[in-house]
Amino acid sequence: MCFRTRSATASRPRLLRRQTPTLPPLAMLDLSKPGERQAHEFLLHATNPKDRMWTLLDVCRHGDVLLCVVKWAHPEQKTKPFALAEVSLTKIAVHWWTCANARDARAEMERRHSGPMTNRGGASRL
């Protein structure tokens, strides 16, 4: 007679991992260009969970700048924790305009953008 030995531990049901949908990139950067590579590295640093400056809510490319809707991690003014940040892709420069809420920051981004989003070919997706 053939006997099977049972495992000492109970088997766990396998968890099925859902595949997250692939979303289109919000902006395309060419990391072979020094300014675009610096902007990419700056955004990685600014959103790093260990020493976060911002939480990035939305981003689009407008010519030679990235328009970023952000929430400050430690806002100077508690009444204006959001901002529209303009990150240059050609030089080391960041400009921002503080806002009371994300809706106002997005509206300012749309006003400044005022046209179809510019996505040029490149290697990095934000």
Sorted by where each begins, the domain ranges of the chain are 28-118
- Residue with the larger pLDDT of the pair 113 and 41: 41
Whether the per-residue pLDDT at 119 is higher than 80: the answer is: no
Asked whether residue 123 carries a pLDDT value surpassing 80, the answer given is: no
**Interval 2-17: pLDDT, tens:** 555 555 566 666 666 6
Q: Looking at residue 4, what is its pLDDT?
A: 59
HEC profile for the chain? CCCCCCCCCCCCCCCCCCCCCCCCCCCEECCCCHHHHHHHHHHHHHCCHHHCCEEEEEEEEECCEEEEEEEECCCCCCCCCEEEEEEECCCCCEEEEEECCHHHHHHHHHHHHCCCCCCCCCCEEC
pTM (predicted TM-score): 0.69
